Structures are given as C-alpha cells and as structure tokens.
Amino acid sequence: MSRLVAGFGCRGGCPADALAALLDQTLHANGLKRSQLVGIASLDRKADEPGLVELAAQLRVPFYTFSATELLVHDSQLSHRSDTSFAHTGCFGVAESSALALAEELGESPPRLLVNRQVAAQATLALAL
C-alpha cells in the first residue's frame, strides 16, 4: 500500500470539516484510503491555521509546513501555476508544492504528484507519493 501525503492550500478560517470533505472526496475518487496518509502539509504561514491543525489531529498524522522558498523548488512539477497564488504567498501553488515538498522530506526522490490540485470553495488539495 502506497504512503500518501496531502498538501493543502486554504483560506483563513477554513474549517476542518471542509478540508476533510475535500480530502475524502479526492481519496474516494482515486480509489485511495485515509489509512494510506502519513502526513499533511501547507505553507509555513498556515502553521497555526485551526482547520489544518484540527484535521491533522483527527487523522492522527503530523502537520508539516514549508516556506515559500522551499516550495518554489518544486515549481517545475506543478500542473497549474497561479500568478495570484504567487502574489499572495510567494509560490505558484501551495497544495501541489507542499505535497511534493513533504514527499521529498519523507524520502521520496524524486517526489511525484499522484493527484493534481483539486479545488473546493475554501481550499485546494493535492496528493503525492
């Protein structure tokens, strides 16, 4: 069974249940299980984001964060580059970049996206191996 990591981008105040719904929908659509998840990640400025912190606790997985500079390393692997995201965060895609950064940190070299950016009203999600 593959070890998965989830990268999230979200608006401030996005509730854990909205993040969990996006995660569960994405996992189900791709024939994957929550039990395969070994961590979630986002941009460092989201380190205290209540919804992300709560989701990690619910899933019983670590929550990792990365600086925009660390996320830019994965720029060439993104399925979608957002100038708006860059203007707000300093990287072109938080969800995909953070998933790739975490996969690499956990020893996957080179990291690869399994599920490209999925978009919901308040959040984005990507899965990497």
pLDDT, tens digit, for every residue of 68-109?
A: 999 999 999 999 888 888 888 888 889 999 999 999 999 988
Residue 26 has pLDDT above 60, yes or no: yes
CA distance 8 to 49: 11
Q: What's the count of helices (H) and strands (E) in the chain, helices before strands?
A: 5, 5
Total domains in the fold of the chain: 1
CA distance 4 to 34: 9
CATH code of the domain in which 92 resides: 3.30.420.180
| Chain centroid, CA 123 distance in Å | 10
Domain that holds residue 33: 4-128
pTM: 0.94
Residue-level pLDDT at 82: 86
pLDDT, tens digit, for every residue of 27-70?
A: 999 999 999 999 999 999 999 999 999 999 999 999 999 999 99
> Residue written as tokens 């981008």?
9
